[in-house]
Amino acid sequence: MSEVHAIPTVYKGIEFRSRLEAKWAIVFDQLGWEYEYEPIDLKGYIPDFMLMLGRGQIIVEVKPAMTLDEMGDAAEKIERSGWQGEALIVGGRILHDWNAFGLLNENDHEQGVWWGAAVPFWCAIHDGLGFSHEFTSYGCRVCGHGDGDHHMTDPGAANLALIHAWNTATNAVKYQHGRR
């Protein structure tokens, strides 16, 4: 496997440590998701982002991973940090072949932490892209609505919105700093 070199990239006045982090910031902006970059210091760990969504705060780790298995390597670091809330790990591409765009944890304080695919869907309540955990709670992390899965509609529209945001972000950061 080739070594990945981070290219610092400026977006909206923030210098991101890598082009991939800047790309995810643009995706979050395209989707209308409020975020902070490197928001807090945890035990031995600084999350790349914190999303402030209707369901609450979700920390986000960005990795140059191409599969859900590769993204899972970051889960242990998050768990050791002492973070008790939800966390999302995203990678170097949209995994539309898996109908997932990352790994999402859900912390059941009685049974522990469950990691599973972050599944996108079109939320009928806030009429926008939402996401949920593949196994546990189907609550929309964006607006906070949870009625089982009745609010989850049109996964095709969700995937198209996610792919459009990803492509827009890719074009926005493509030639920063004169490098490819």
Render pLDDT for 36-56 as a digit per residue (tens, 0 to 9).
999 999 999 999 999 999 889
Q: Identify the residue with better confidence: 31 or 150.
A: 31
**How high is the pLDDT of residue 98?**
59
The per-residue pLDDT for range 130-166, each reduced to its tens digit, is 999 888 678 899 998 887 777 888 778 888 899 999 9
**How high is the pLDDT of residue 155?**
79
Whether residue 179 has pLDDT greater than 80: no
Instruction: Look up tokens 């643009």; give the residue.
Output: 26
Residue 1's pLDDT band (boundaries 50, 70, 90)?
very low
**How high is the pLDDT of residue 146?**
82
Q: Tell me the C-alpha distance between 140 and 148, whole Å.
A: 10
Q: Tell me the C-alpha distance between 102 and 94, whole Å.
A: 8
Q: Identify the residue with better confidence: 1 or 34.
A: 34
The per-residue pLDDT for range 81-119, each reduced to its tens digit, is 999 899 999 999 887 555 788 999 987 767 778 899 998
Tell me, letter by letter, the H, E, C secondary structure of the chain.
CCCCCCCCEEECCEEECCHHHHHHHHHHHHHCCEEEECCCCECCECCCEEEEECCEEEEEEECCCCCHHHHHHHHHHHHHCCCCCEEEEECCCCEHHHCECCEEEEEECCCEEEEEEEEEEEECCCCEEEEEECCCCCCCCCCCCCCCCCCEECHHHHHHHHHHHHHHHHHHHCCHHHCC
Whether residue 13 has pLDDT greater than 70: yes
Question: Chain centroid to CA 58: how far?
Answer: 9
Q: Identify the residue with better confidence: 70 or 178.
A: 70
Q: Tell me the C-alpha distance between 129 and 123, whole Å.
A: 6
The pTM score is: 0.90
